Amino acid sequence: MALGDLILNETGSVDEVRELSNDASGIKNEIKLTLKGTIRGVEETTKWTYAALVRPDGSVYGEGTAVMTTVDGDILNLTGAGAAKAAGPGESTNFRTMLYAHTTAAKFADLNHVGLVGEYDVAPDGTATNKNWEWK
Protein backbone atom coordinates (compact mmCIF):
# COMPACT_ATOMS: atom_id res chain seq x y z
CA MET A 1 0.00 0.00 0.00
CA ALA A 2 1.21 3.46 -0.84
CA LEU A 3 -0.19 6.91 -1.31
CA GLY A 4 -0.06 8.25 -4.82
CA ASP A 5 -0.45 11.72 -6.24
CA LEU A 6 -2.39 14.56 -4.66
CA ILE A 7 -5.72 14.28 -6.51
CA LEU A 8 -7.94 16.86 -4.82
CA ASN A 9 -7.01 20.19 -3.21
CA GLU A 10 -9.83 22.47 -1.99
CA THR A 11 -10.71 25.32 0.33
CA GLY A 12 -14.07 26.73 1.32
CA SER A 13 -16.42 27.29 4.18
CA VAL A 14 -19.31 25.84 6.14
CA ASP A 15 -22.63 27.14 4.81
CA GLU A 16 -24.94 25.80 7.50
CA VAL A 17 -24.91 23.76 10.73
CA ARG A 18 -28.06 22.19 12.13
CA GLU A 19 -28.30 20.13 15.31
CA LEU A 20 -29.90 16.75 14.63
CA SER A 21 -29.70 15.22 18.11
CA ASN A 22 -28.19 15.65 21.55
CA ASP A 23 -28.38 12.52 23.70
CA ALA A 24 -26.24 9.93 25.48
CA SER A 25 -24.46 9.01 22.21
CA GLY A 26 -23.30 12.63 21.75
CA ILE A 27 -24.17 15.71 19.75
CA LYS A 28 -24.96 15.07 16.09
CA ASN A 29 -24.92 17.96 13.63
CA GLU A 30 -25.69 18.19 9.94
CA ILE A 31 -23.12 20.33 8.12
CA LYS A 32 -23.47 21.81 4.64
CA LEU A 33 -20.22 22.90 3.08
CA THR A 34 -18.99 24.40 -0.20
CA LEU A 35 -15.42 23.82 -1.33
CA LYS A 36 -13.60 25.04 -4.45
CA GLY A 37 -10.28 23.93 -5.81
CA THR A 38 -8.85 21.47 -8.27
CA ILE A 39 -9.14 17.79 -9.05
CA ARG A 40 -6.08 16.72 -11.03
CA GLY A 41 -5.52 20.37 -11.91
CA VAL A 42 -9.07 20.97 -13.21
CA GLU A 43 -11.06 23.66 -11.38
CA GLU A 44 -14.09 22.34 -9.53
CA THR A 45 -16.74 23.13 -6.91
CA THR A 46 -17.95 20.57 -4.38
CA LYS A 47 -21.15 20.75 -2.30
CA TRP A 48 -21.12 18.47 0.76
CA THR A 49 -23.80 17.47 3.24
CA TYR A 50 -22.51 15.39 6.11
CA ALA A 51 -23.39 14.44 9.66
CA ALA A 52 -20.80 14.69 12.43
CA LEU A 53 -21.27 13.01 15.80
CA VAL A 54 -19.22 14.42 18.69
CA ARG A 55 -19.11 11.53 21.15
CA PRO A 56 -18.83 11.86 24.95
CA ASP A 57 -15.23 10.54 24.82
CA GLY A 58 -14.17 13.51 22.64
CA SER A 59 -13.95 11.61 19.37
CA VAL A 60 -15.79 12.78 16.26
CA TYR A 61 -17.12 10.61 13.45
CA GLY A 62 -18.52 12.12 10.26
CA GLU A 63 -19.97 10.75 7.05
CA GLY A 64 -21.69 12.25 4.06
CA THR A 65 -22.13 12.73 0.36
CA ALA A 66 -21.21 15.41 -2.15
CA VAL A 67 -21.59 16.46 -5.75
CA MET A 68 -18.56 17.88 -7.53
CA THR A 69 -18.85 19.86 -10.77
CA THR A 70 -15.76 20.71 -12.81
CA VAL A 71 -15.41 23.77 -15.03
CA ASP A 72 -15.54 21.34 -17.97
CA GLY A 73 -19.01 20.18 -16.89
CA ASP A 74 -17.95 16.81 -15.48
CA ILE A 75 -19.90 15.54 -12.47
CA LEU A 76 -18.44 13.36 -9.71
CA ASN A 77 -20.49 11.93 -6.86
CA LEU A 78 -18.54 11.51 -3.63
CA THR A 79 -19.14 9.47 -0.51
CA GLY A 80 -16.88 9.92 2.47
CA ALA A 81 -16.25 9.28 6.13
CA GLY A 82 -13.74 10.55 8.63
CA ALA A 83 -12.67 10.64 12.24
CA ALA A 84 -11.20 13.38 14.42
CA LYS A 85 -10.61 14.51 17.97
CA ALA A 86 -13.14 17.13 19.12
CA ALA A 87 -11.64 20.60 18.97
CA GLY A 88 -11.25 22.72 22.05
CA PRO A 89 -12.27 26.38 22.15
CA GLY A 90 -10.58 28.27 19.33
CA GLU A 91 -9.07 25.11 17.81
CA SER A 92 -9.59 23.50 14.41
CA THR A 93 -11.10 20.05 13.95
CA ASN A 94 -8.69 17.90 11.94
CA PHE A 95 -10.38 14.92 10.26
CA ARG A 96 -8.60 12.01 8.59
CA THR A 97 -10.86 10.82 5.80
CA MET A 98 -11.59 8.26 3.11
CA LEU A 99 -13.48 9.36 0.00
CA TYR A 100 -14.89 7.30 -2.85
CA ALA A 101 -15.83 8.81 -6.19
CA HIS A 102 -18.22 7.71 -8.87
CA THR A 103 -18.45 9.36 -12.28
CA THR A 104 -19.23 8.66 -15.92
CA ALA A 105 -16.62 11.24 -17.00
CA ALA A 106 -13.92 9.37 -18.92
CA LYS A 107 -11.03 11.47 -17.61
CA PHE A 108 -11.92 10.67 -13.98
CA ALA A 109 -13.36 7.15 -14.43
CA ASP A 110 -10.27 5.49 -12.93
CA LEU A 111 -11.24 7.09 -9.59
CA ASN A 112 -14.35 4.84 -9.52
CA HIS A 113 -12.23 1.99 -8.16
CA VAL A 114 -9.75 3.63 -5.77
CA GLY A 115 -9.95 5.21 -2.36
CA LEU A 116 -8.85 8.77 -1.71
CA VAL A 117 -7.10 9.27 1.64
CA GLY A 118 -7.43 12.75 3.00
CA GLU A 119 -7.04 15.52 5.52
CA TYR A 120 -10.11 17.71 6.07
CA ASP A 121 -9.68 20.58 8.53
CA VAL A 122 -12.37 22.96 9.78
CA ALA A 123 -11.38 26.16 11.63
CA PRO A 124 -13.54 27.76 14.34
CA ASP A 125 -14.67 30.44 11.85
CA GLY A 126 -16.02 27.75 9.49
CA THR A 127 -13.26 27.95 6.88
CA ALA A 128 -12.13 24.55 5.65
CA THR A 129 -9.41 22.83 3.65
CA ASN A 130 -9.52 19.40 2.05
CA LYS A 131 -6.66 17.45 0.47
CA ASN A 132 -6.91 13.91 -0.87
CA TRP A 133 -4.33 11.49 -2.25
CA GLU A 134 -4.89 8.34 -4.28
CA TRP A 135 -4.49 5.16 -2.26
CA LYS A 136 -2.77 2.66 -4.55
Q: What are the sequence ranges of the domains in the chain?
A: 3-135
Fold of the domain built from segment(s) 3-135: Porin (2.40.160)
Which ranges of the chain have pLDDT less than 70?
1-2
Distance CA 132, CA 115 (A): 9
The answer to whether 60 and 52 have CB atoms below 8 angstroms apart is yes
